[in-house]
Every structure is written in structure tokens, then in C-alpha cells.
Amino acid sequence: MKERLRLPAEWEPHAACWLAFPYLEEEWPGHLPEAQRSIAALSVAIADTGNEPVHLLVKSAQIEERARSLVGDSNNIAYVTADYGDCWIRDTAPLFGHTARGTLGALCFGFNGWGGKYEMAFDEGVSKWLTDRLQATRFECPVILEGGALETDGQGTFLTTVSCALNPNRNPGLTREAFELALGEAVSLGRLVWLERGLRHDHTDGHIDMLARFAAPNAVLCTKAAKGAPNAEVLDSIARDLRANGLNVLELPAPSAVTAPDGTPLPASYCNFYIANEAVIVPVYDIPEDRIALREIASAFPGREVIGLPARDLLRGGGAFHCVTQAQPTAP
């Protein structure tokens, strides 16, 4: 019988969290220092408050020096020199899990720069480099996808979106049935819940980690549509579909309009949090809804400290805290 990987839920224990320090001026025109400060603050929160070792990728000795100057003193952060494109390691690295033998395994997809929209040198090599470094068994899934497009409760239930997984810019002609078959050949898959589409202005074509996240088996956090919100129709359909699939829906407030300095709308979401060993790091936007979101997330994760960190600067690049982190689970 073919071995399949078990992907754990994010609240299960982590041996480490991997991040990558941004360095490409062209990816952050006029705002690279702000993006770097965001990654530094997130690294410290995970390492120190979250009690989780952080491995921070740096492109060169010069970039490491810059990262160290922002991070400051932390004995729980290690700097690792590597080739990579930018900071979106949720999507360029594999998703780690447990093999049947209790060793580290990795779910590996094909990668084409988010449907060919954001191709960066070295991104395609991150997955193999990291699995080789960790001596993780690779479980190849023959579809084009990014890690932020898949969410699991650790017990075989997965969430994804049609707009991303079946997008012609990634997998032309692929059906739901074919996608499920390919995924089920690589991982222990009980069922896959499909949502139709993501937020407006989301560069990823609808990554699930901006829309709905498991807080416990059978319990999903998603956003309650605010009256007149630009994504109200999408958010209503997401909650409706989750409930129709027998999942308990826990609602977070919809952020009021969040824009870049030039007025461009940004796909703000409170769902893009990272669950560290002893903390949940939540993106906040300096708006009234922040307080409510932090309270609701704290209720969903008792026993973990909930930390709100400013996320507008990272969001300019298309994502927030879950998008720039990749958990390495401890052995089962």
C-alpha cells in the first residue's frame, strides 16, 4: 500500500518556523525597509512569545547584517543563508508533515510563480533545497499550487478554492475530481471542502489562508460580511458553504477598507494569522475591528497568547503573516 503523508493542523507542536527576509527592491518599491521591519517583528514574536525556534533565510551576509540590526537580541532565531526570491515562503516551501514511520515528510507541488504573475529567480528551487537540508521525504503532488491554497485540520479534512486550485493559469483543464485524486495519492485525505473564490484584489487568485482557517477539528474561523463591504457576497457564500459541509463556523469581523498609500485597495483579512507553539500572531490594521478580531481569535485558541502586529506594510506585497511563515512540525 502506498505511503501517504499526514499533514498536521497548525496548532500541533512545531520544531521550528521558517521565514525569509525580503531583499528585492523591485518587489517593494519605496517600501522595502517597512517590509523588512515587519518580518523582523514577526520573527521575534514567534521566537520569543510563541516559544518557537525561527530559521530566518537571508540572501547574503549583507542581508543578514540588516536582518540582525532589526531583530536585535534573540537566542531563538537562527540565520540561514540561501537562494530564494522574496519572503513568501508559505508558497515556495513545501508543506511539512509526518510519514507513517514518524519521520519528517513534505508535500511538494509544482510552482509557476502564482500563475505566472510573479516569477522571481530562485523561488522554484526553495522546495528541494529545504527538503534536502531537513532530509525530509518528498511526497510529490503533480499539480501547480502554493501552500497558502490548502488548509487542514490535521484529521483529514482540507479546504481549498476553485478560483486558485483549478485556475487555468495553474492547472488548465483540471477537474475537482482529478485534483482530489492527485492530492489523495500524496496525503491522508478524508474529504476536501471546496470554496468558490477569494477576496477582490487578492494577488493569489483566492488563497484559502485569507478566507477560512481551522481553529479545531470541525471548527473554522472565517469573516462575517459587513453590510456594503466590497467582499460581502464572497464572504456570505464562504460561510454558507462551510456550514453546508457540516462545519462549525466562528466569525471574525470584516476589516473596514484598508488601502495602500496610493489608495489601492488591499485584501485585508484577520484569517491570515500564524499559530505558534504558545501564541497566535494576528495581522492588524489600526482600525476599530482589530480589537474584536483579537478577542474572537483568543476565544478560539485558549491557552495561547494572542498578539496583534501591524500588517499593512506586508499586505502591500499581497499577503500577511501566514503567507510568510512555514511550520516544521515536531516528530509525532
Active site residues: 323
Q: Which of 132, 128, 43, 57 is nearest to 87 (CA)?
A: 57
**How far is Cα 118 from Cα 131, in angstroms, rounded to an integer?**
23
Give the bridge partners for 81, in sequence order.
58
Would you report the helix, strand and coil content of the chain in percent, each value rounded to 5? 30, 25, 45
Strands 54-58 and 14-20: parallel
CA angle 233, 113, 276 (to 5 degrees): 70
**Are the beta carbons of 195 and 162 closer than 8 angstroms?**
yes
C-alpha cell belonging to residue 104:
519528517
**Are the beta carbons of 253 and 224 closer than 8 angstroms?**
yes
What order of strands is seen across the sheet that includes strand 248-253?
212-216, 219-224, 248-253
**How far is Cα 50 from Cα 305, in angstroms, rounded to an integer?**
8
Burial letters for 233-267: b for 16+ Cβ neighbours within 10 Å, e otherwise?
ebbeebbebbeebebebbebbbbeebeeeeeeebb
Q: Which of 37, 38, 40, 84 is nearest to 60 (CA)?
A: 84
Residue 84 CB neighbours (<10 A): 25
Q: Which residue has the cell 533565510?
A: 57
**Are the beta carbons of 260 and 243 closer than 8 angstroms?**
no
**How far is Cα 211 from Cα 208, in angstroms, rounded to an integer?**
5
